[in-house]
Protein backbone atom coordinates (compact mmCIF):
# COMPACT_ATOMS: atom_id res chain seq x y z
CA UNK A 1 0.00 0.00 0.00
CA UNK A 2 2.85 2.40 0.69
CA UNK A 3 3.97 2.67 -2.95
CA UNK A 4 0.46 3.70 -3.95
CA UNK A 5 0.33 6.33 -1.22
CA UNK A 6 3.70 7.69 -2.25
CA UNK A 7 2.63 7.84 -5.88
CA UNK A 8 -0.56 9.65 -4.93
CA UNK A 9 1.31 12.23 -2.85
CA UNK A 10 3.76 12.79 -5.70
CA UNK A 11 0.94 13.33 -8.16
CA UNK A 12 -0.79 15.82 -5.83
CA UNK A 13 2.43 17.75 -5.34
CA UNK A 14 3.05 17.97 -9.07
CA UNK A 15 -0.51 19.18 -9.71
CA UNK A 16 -0.21 21.82 -6.98
CA UNK A 17 3.05 23.08 -8.42
CA UNK A 18 1.53 23.28 -11.87
CA UNK A 19 -1.46 25.20 -10.55
CA UNK A 20 0.76 27.71 -8.73
CA UNK A 21 2.87 28.22 -11.84
CA UNK A 22 -0.17 28.77 -14.02
CA UNK A 23 -1.62 31.18 -11.49
CA UNK A 24 1.60 33.21 -11.42
CA UNK A 25 1.76 33.25 -15.21
CA UNK A 26 -1.84 34.42 -15.40
CA UNK A 27 -1.12 37.24 -12.92
CA UNK A 28 1.94 38.34 -14.90
CA UNK A 29 -0.08 38.28 -18.10
CA UNK A 30 -2.80 40.38 -16.48
CA UNK A 31 -0.22 42.97 -15.34
CA UNK A 32 0.30 45.45 -18.18
CA UNK A 33 2.56 48.45 -18.53
CA UNK A 34 0.69 51.67 -17.78
CA UNK A 35 1.89 54.92 -19.35
CA UNK A 36 0.43 58.10 -17.89
CA UNK A 37 0.31 61.67 -19.17
CA UNK A 38 -2.19 64.30 -18.07
CA UNK A 39 -4.54 65.22 -20.87
CA UNK A 40 -3.82 68.53 -22.66
CA UNK A 41 -0.29 68.79 -21.28
CA UNK A 42 1.61 71.70 -22.87
CA UNK A 43 5.35 72.46 -22.71
CA UNK A 44 6.70 75.83 -23.88
CA UNK A 45 10.33 76.49 -24.73
CA UNK A 46 12.53 79.11 -26.34
CA UNK A 47 14.59 78.60 -29.43
CA UNK A 48 18.08 77.36 -28.55
CA UNK A 49 17.25 76.31 -24.98
CA UNK A 50 17.06 72.75 -23.60
CA UNK A 51 13.58 71.33 -23.12
CA UNK A 52 12.54 68.15 -21.27
CA UNK A 53 9.17 66.43 -21.48
CA UNK A 54 8.25 63.18 -19.72
CA UNK A 55 5.64 60.52 -19.15
CA UNK A 56 5.12 58.27 -16.11
CA UNK A 57 5.49 54.50 -16.56
CA UNK A 58 4.23 51.77 -14.22
CA UNK A 59 5.46 48.22 -14.87
CA UNK A 60 5.27 44.77 -13.28
CA UNK A 61 8.59 43.04 -13.79
CA UNK A 62 11.84 43.92 -12.11
CA UNK A 63 13.30 45.68 -15.14
CA UNK A 64 11.67 48.77 -16.68
CA UNK A 65 10.12 48.35 -20.12
CA UNK A 66 11.33 49.95 -23.31
CA UNK A 67 9.60 53.28 -23.87
CA UNK A 68 9.28 54.70 -27.39
CA UNK A 69 8.41 58.26 -28.38
CA UNK A 70 6.38 59.33 -31.40
CA UNK A 71 5.58 62.65 -33.02
CA UNK A 72 2.23 63.32 -34.62
CA UNK A 73 2.64 64.52 -38.19
CA UNK A 74 0.63 62.98 -41.00
CA UNK A 75 0.88 59.88 -38.80
CA UNK A 76 2.73 58.90 -35.66
CA UNK A 77 6.41 58.96 -36.59
CA UNK A 78 9.10 57.57 -34.26
CA UNK A 79 11.30 60.31 -32.83
CA UNK A 80 14.90 60.10 -33.94
CA UNK A 81 16.98 59.67 -30.76
CA UNK A 82 20.18 58.47 -32.39
CA UNK A 83 23.60 59.79 -31.49
CA UNK A 84 23.51 62.21 -34.41
CA UNK A 85 20.21 63.73 -33.31
CA UNK A 86 19.76 66.64 -30.90
CA UNK A 87 16.96 64.69 -29.17
CA UNK A 88 17.82 62.20 -26.41
CA UNK A 89 15.92 59.93 -24.03
CA UNK A 90 16.53 59.39 -20.35
CA UNK A 91 15.04 57.10 -17.70
CA UNK A 92 14.46 57.97 -14.03
CA UNK A 93 13.29 55.44 -11.43
CA UNK A 94 10.81 57.06 -9.05
CA UNK A 95 10.02 54.10 -6.82
CA UNK A 96 9.55 50.33 -7.03
CA UNK A 97 7.94 49.42 -10.37
CA UNK A 98 7.43 53.06 -11.37
CA UNK A 99 9.56 55.52 -13.28
CA UNK A 100 9.61 58.34 -15.80
CA UNK A 101 10.80 58.43 -19.38
CA UNK A 102 12.21 61.78 -20.53
CA UNK A 103 12.43 63.13 -24.04
CA UNK A 104 15.17 65.79 -24.03
CA UNK A 105 15.54 68.44 -26.74
CA UNK A 106 19.08 69.80 -26.74
CA UNK A 107 18.92 73.34 -28.13
CA UNK A 108 15.33 72.97 -29.21
CA UNK A 109 14.48 74.01 -32.76
CA UNK A 110 11.43 75.64 -34.21
CA UNK A 111 10.44 72.50 -36.12
CA UNK A 112 10.38 70.57 -32.82
CA UNK A 113 6.98 72.10 -32.12
CA UNK A 114 4.18 69.58 -32.30
CA UNK A 115 2.36 66.78 -30.47
CA UNK A 116 4.31 63.91 -28.92
CA UNK A 117 3.27 60.57 -27.47
CA UNK A 118 5.10 57.91 -25.48
CA UNK A 119 4.45 54.18 -25.62
CA UNK A 120 5.48 51.44 -23.18
CA UNK A 121 4.46 47.87 -23.85
CA UNK A 122 1.01 48.12 -25.42
CA UNK A 123 0.04 51.32 -23.59
CA UNK A 124 -0.04 54.73 -25.27
CA UNK A 125 -0.11 58.04 -23.46
CA UNK A 126 -2.07 61.16 -24.25
CA UNK A 127 -0.45 63.69 -26.54
CA UNK A 128 2.02 66.21 -25.15
CA UNK A 129 1.96 69.53 -27.00
CA UNK A 130 5.32 71.27 -27.46
CA UNK A 131 5.43 74.95 -28.44
CA UNK A 132 8.74 76.64 -29.35
CA UNK A 133 8.93 80.45 -29.26
CA UNK A 134 11.51 82.93 -30.50
CA UNK A 135 15.05 83.21 -29.20
CA UNK A 136 15.34 83.98 -25.51
CA UNK A 137 18.65 85.80 -26.06
CA UNK A 138 17.01 88.28 -28.46
CA UNK A 139 14.29 89.05 -25.97
CA UNK A 140 16.90 89.58 -23.24
CA UNK A 141 18.92 91.93 -25.45
CA UNK A 142 15.92 94.03 -26.42
CA UNK A 143 14.79 94.35 -22.84
CA UNK A 144 18.24 95.02 -21.36
CA UNK A 145 18.85 98.29 -23.26
CA UNK A 146 15.71 100.10 -21.99
CA UNK A 147 16.54 98.88 -18.51
CA UNK A 148 20.02 100.44 -18.79
CA UNK A 149 18.54 103.71 -20.02
CA UNK A 150 16.01 103.66 -17.21
CA UNK A 151 18.73 103.13 -14.63
CA UNK A 152 20.77 106.00 -16.14
CA UNK A 153 17.78 108.31 -16.13
CA UNK A 154 16.92 107.36 -12.55
CA UNK A 155 20.42 108.31 -11.39
CA UNK A 156 20.87 111.40 -13.62
CA UNK A 157 17.64 113.35 -13.31
CA UNK A 158 17.42 113.33 -9.48
CA UNK A 159 20.95 114.80 -9.40
CA UNK A 160 19.92 117.53 -11.86
CA UNK A 161 16.78 118.32 -9.86
CA UNK A 162 18.77 118.58 -6.64
CA UNK A 163 21.41 120.83 -8.22
CA UNK A 164 18.77 123.14 -9.72
CA UNK A 165 16.85 123.25 -6.45
CA UNK A 166 19.94 124.12 -4.42
CA UNK A 167 20.94 126.83 -6.95
CA UNK A 168 17.47 128.39 -6.93
CA UNK A 169 17.44 128.33 -3.13
CA UNK A 170 20.77 130.13 -2.83
CA UNK A 171 19.80 132.71 -5.47
CA UNK A 172 16.50 133.37 -3.70
CA UNK A 173 18.17 133.76 -0.32
CA UNK A 174 20.84 136.06 -1.78
CA UNK A 175 18.21 138.22 -3.51
CA UNK A 176 16.16 138.51 -0.34
CA UNK A 177 19.26 139.45 1.66
CA UNK A 178 20.31 142.18 -0.79
CA UNK A 179 16.77 143.57 -0.97
CA UNK A 180 16.45 143.68 2.81
CA UNK A 181 19.78 145.45 3.15
CA UNK A 182 18.85 148.11 0.58
CA UNK A 183 15.52 148.69 2.25
CA UNK A 184 17.16 149.25 5.61
CA UNK A 185 19.68 151.68 4.11
CA UNK A 186 16.88 153.70 2.48
CA UNK A 187 14.96 154.01 5.72
CA UNK A 188 18.04 155.14 7.57
CA UNK A 189 18.68 157.94 5.04
CA UNK A 190 15.09 159.25 5.05
CA UNK A 191 14.81 159.48 8.89
CA UNK A 192 15.95 163.01 10.24
CA UNK A 193 18.35 163.19 13.12
CA UNK A 194 16.70 164.09 16.42
CA UNK A 195 19.90 164.84 18.28
CA UNK A 196 20.49 168.54 19.17
CA UNK A 197 23.23 170.40 17.36
CA UNK A 198 26.27 171.17 19.43
CA UNK A 199 26.99 174.38 17.40
CA UNK A 200 23.67 176.04 18.13
CA UNK A 201 23.70 178.44 21.07
CA UNK A 202 21.00 178.27 23.72
CA UNK A 203 18.47 181.05 23.59
CA UNK A 204 17.59 182.81 26.80
CA UNK A 205 13.98 183.19 27.60
CA UNK A 206 12.51 186.73 27.15
CA UNK A 207 10.92 188.39 30.16
CA UNK A 208 7.57 189.88 29.43
CA UNK A 209 8.06 192.73 31.96
CA UNK A 210 11.43 193.70 30.66
CA UNK A 211 11.64 196.42 28.11
CA UNK A 212 14.18 196.78 25.51
CA UNK A 213 17.01 199.03 26.24
CA UNK A 214 17.26 202.06 23.97
CA UNK A 215 20.62 203.44 23.33
CA UNK A 216 20.51 207.27 23.71
CA UNK A 217 23.11 209.06 21.93
CA UNK A 218 24.19 212.42 23.57
CA UNK A 219 23.56 215.53 21.59
CA UNK A 220 26.46 216.85 19.77
Q: Does 49 fall in a domain?
A: yes
- The reply to whether 67 falls in a domain is yes
In a domain, 186, yes or no: no
Say if 18 falls within a structural domain. no
For the chain, the domain total comes to: 1
pTM over 0.75: no
- Closest alpha carbon to 52 in 112, 106, 92, 126: 106
- pLDDT value at residue 61: 80
Q: What are phi and psi of 132, to 5 degrees?
A: -110, 125
Q: Which domain holds residue 61?
A: 34-137
In a domain, 41, yes or no: yes
Can you list the residues of the chain whose pLDDT is less than 70? 1-30, 136-156, 159, 186-220
| pLDDT at residue 201, as a whole number | 47
Establish if 118 belongs to a structural domain: yes
Q: Is residue 29 part of a domain?
A: no
Residue 200 counted as domain residue: no
We report the CATH number of the domain holding residue 44 as: 2.60.40.10
Rounded CA-CA distance 69/144 in Å is 39
Amino acid sequence: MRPYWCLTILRVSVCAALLLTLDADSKESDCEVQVGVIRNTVYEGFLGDDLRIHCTVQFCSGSPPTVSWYKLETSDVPVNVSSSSHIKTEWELLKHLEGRSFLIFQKVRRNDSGAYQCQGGGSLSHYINVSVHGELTTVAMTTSEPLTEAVTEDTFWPFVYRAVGITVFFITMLTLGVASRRRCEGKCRDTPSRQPSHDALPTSPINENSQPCLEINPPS
